[in-house]
Structure 1
Amino acid sequence: MSKDDPGLVVTATLEWNGGSAARRRAGADLDLYAFFVPGSLVTPQGKRPNKTDDVVYYRQLGSLSVAPYMALDGDSRVPGRETVTIRRPDLQGYVLLCAYSAVENGTGSFKSYGARAVVTDGRGSTVTVPLFNNRNLSYWVAIALLDFTVPSGVQIRHVEKYSGNHVEARPVLYSSGNFRMSTGKVEFKTR
């Protein structure tokens, strides 16, 4: 497998069963986000990186046939799954996969939703992340960082970092592949 392999397709799936009946009644809307840096905007080592606001999520589903060559399959507002598919590894730089717990859910940890993420390149490299954090007031989790700058095509790194209590600000991805939690735009999903 190499970066120039047109058949390389990465999929990332956020799955959740809603946890308990009480949790499902209170709300169990999770959202998968794919923050990204196109390959043409990756900052060379030693240069100052830039923040990116580029993201595929429920309000911006993306496209597999034109840039950004990644797309989310839709918005599940109830327990289920959301999947983002990423193509054209030769045009990708970095992708940070995150999950957001809609504020309308009230308090509840990612663990209480029965959530997990599965990221695979379809070629034998798969990362499964059960989201076991018990903090009821963490609205964001950065799950995995996909590095498309490596010669082999993609490196999937498990990062699993959670936002602070009551922090609704998104994570921020930089053009160097680094990221920071709780420093981006404030998210507030309403029906």
Structure 2
Amino acid sequence: MSETIGKGANTALRGGRLRITASPAGIDLTALCLRENGKVGSDDDFVFYNQPVSPDSAVRLVDGALAIDLSVVAAGTHRLVVAASVDTGSFGAIPLAVRVTEEGGGSFELPITGLTSETTVQLAEVYRRGGGWKLRNIGQGYATGLAGLATDFGITVDDPGTPAAAVPPTPSPAPPVPAASGHPSAPGDTALPTAGYPPPPGPPGYPPPGGLPPAAAEYPPPTSYSPAAGSGGIAPAGAPAPAASAPGVNFSKGAVTLTKGAPAVLLEKAPMVRLRVAWASGTDYEAYALVVLSSGEVVHVATFPAAGIPANPQFRDLVRHLGDRGRGDVRRGGGQTEEIIEVRPAPEIVAVVPVAYSAINNGTGSFHKYRVTLSIENGADTVTIPADQAKKSSWIFTCVPGIVYNRPDGVLVERLELYSRRFSEHRPAVTLQPDGRVQVRMDKGPVNQFKVDRT
């Protein structure tokens, strides 16, 4: 029978093996192995998704659960702090359930209450006391996220930016709900996502959703310069190079695939985000982007025109269409062809809606046949949205795989996978709503004027 341990309460443990789980799905568990001074001995003492085993092998992350063998914990480890984090949403709206199961003993339920906008929370600590071990329910949230928690306990984080203590808390996204997907059942179907929106635009003169623009030069290319004593922040010739900082913990999650019904993913913001639309070679698709600005204006970035919309492969220095690129044996119908759109997430950009397009002159072939995918590359992270719900129709020309929000707390990627009506050459129409959401309406935009079959 389970025993409930309230916040701040503790109980004695047998000193053997523990299994700690948290639900619902999508929650990342982590553990910090702390010395008597309350800090880690090194970055290796942090167990998380990119570093799943502690140096003494006593703490392991297995299938989303933490397995702890107290009998082999290193003598220098005084206590273990267990935490949970989410990529999207906040714990104030997630029905968090935490259970600790002791081998050969009972199980313990840890109610975690009083959370609001936190995306990371200390769940419990397992600590030495009088030659044995005890378990305590902590239930303390962190508004600064997993990196802030790690930094507080002595972990060095890769490119931490502003110290966690100086970062003002920002509202977290709303709890994740399944994104709209599938084919429109009738003309003019609308996608109005409901998970994790940017804050609504304020009155004139108020900072836009992305925050205030920097006071100095506008968004330089994502080249890393080393500030030194020379002018302009670039080391003068002959100046000694600054010492390289020691590598820290990397919170990158690598490759993530958003399948049908998957919640949105929030990524740490990189200086450059690449939207890559790819397909099996043998036909020709086009990609373009609808860029939603904080003013409500929508800019079309495309290499071909639409009715009333000229071809425009670049929006200032913030969004650029790089054109067709090939991978593999494209000439013989193998490999992949792709188009890339680069985005610098400036404050005035609320969201980018990438669109994949195939008109009649491309020949027959469906999104399903040519395995069309959208990949969002944000630094070391890649989120892929496959068009795996596509019908086998050669006469559906337009797909909106997803939407990319530029938020103050990161880049939010949400799956949509919406399709146009059969034979429709219309672009989608997108509208910025007063609450900061972006509405996508298929077949409601201008007619493409480049590859339409006029026979």
TM > 0.5: yes
CA-to-aligned-CA distance 1:137-185 (integer Å, 9 cap, x gap): 110000111112x321321111111111111111111122111001111
Q: Closer, same or farther in 2 for the Cα pair 1:110/1:169, shift >3 Å?
A: same
User: Distance in 2 between the 1:8 and 1:90 partners?
Assistant: 12
Which residue number corresponds to residue 61 of structure 1?
A: 313
Q: Note the 1:138-149 alignment, pairs <5 A.
A: 138-148=396-406
Structure 1 gaps, min length 5: 19-23, 43-49
One-letter code of the match for 1:87?
R
Which residue number corresponds to residue 10 of structure 1?
A: 273
Which residue number corresponds to residue 37 of structure 1?
A: 292
Which residue number corresponds to residue 383 of structure 2?
A: 127
Matched, 1:92 2:349: yes
Give the superposition deviation at 1:33: 1.0
User: Distance in 2 between the 1:14 and 1:178 partners?
Assistant: 21
Q: Note the 1:103-182 alignment, pairs <5 A.
A: 103-124=360-381, 126-132=382-388, 133=390, 134-148=392-406, 150-176=407-433, 177-182=438-443
Give the number of the structure whose alpha-carbon radius of gyration is greater: 2
User: Distance in 2 between the 1:123 and 1:75 partners?
Assistant: 23
Percent of aligned pairs with the same residue?
25
Q: Secondary structure at the match of 1:104?
A: helix
Name which structure has the greater RCO, CA cutoff 8 Å, separation 6+. Answer: 1
CA-to-aligned-CA distance 1:8-57 (integer Å, 9 cap, x gap): 32111011123xxxxx3xxx110111101122x14xxxxxxx7x3x2111
Matched, 1:82 2:343: no
User: Distance in 1 between the 2:337 and 2:351 partners?
Assistant: 26
- Length, aligned pairs only: 168
CA contact (8 A) 1:141 1:162 kept: yes
Which residue number corresponds to residue 321 of structure 2?
A: 72
User: Distance in 2 between the 1:179 and 1:94 partners?
Assistant: 12
One-letter code of the match for 1:73?
L
One-letter code of the match for 2:314?
G
CA contact (8 A) 2:322 2:340 kept: yes
User: Distance in 1 between the 2:274 and 2:424 partners?
Assistant: 28
Which residue number corresponds to residue 47 of structure 1?
A: none
State the superposition RMSD in angstroms. Answer: 2.7
CA contact (8 A) 1:13 1:81 kept: yes
**TM-score scaled by structure 1?**
0.76
Q: Closer, same or farther in 2 for the Cα pair 1:110/1:188, shift >3 Å?
A: farther
User: Distance in 2 between the 1:73 and 1:97 partners?
Assistant: 14
User: Distance in 2 between the 1:107 and 1:166 partners?
Assistant: 12
Structure 2 gaps, min length 5: 1-160, 162-169, 171-209, 220-269, 305-311, 331-335
One-letter code of the match for 1:58?
T
User: Distance in 2 between the 1:120 and 1:9 partners?
Assistant: 9
Q: Secondary structure at the match of 1:168?
A: coil
User: Distance in 1 between the 2:364 and 2:450 partners?
Assistant: 14
Give the superposition deviation at 1:123: 4.8
CA contact (8 A) 2:360 2:395 kept: no
One-letter code of the match for 2:401?
I
One-letter code of the match for 2:301?
V
CA-to-aligned-CA distance 1:49-106 (integer Å, 9 cap, x gap): x7x3x2111232105xx35x11010246986111001004322112111100022023
User: Distance in 1 between the 2:451 and 2:431 partners?
Assistant: 28
Which residue number corresponds to residue 190 of structure 1?
A: 451
Q: Secondary structure at the match of 2:369?
A: helix
Q: Secondary structure at the match of 2:338?
A: strand
User: Distance in 2 between the 1:184 and 1:151 partners?
Assistant: 29
Which residue number corresponds to residue 189 of structure 2?
A: none
User: Distance in 2 between the 1:139 and 1:153 partners?
Assistant: 32
CA contact (8 A) 1:29 1:76 kept: no
User: Distance in 2 between the 1:152 and 1:113 partners?
Assistant: 35
User: Distance in 2 between the 1:157 and 1:119 partners?
Assistant: 11
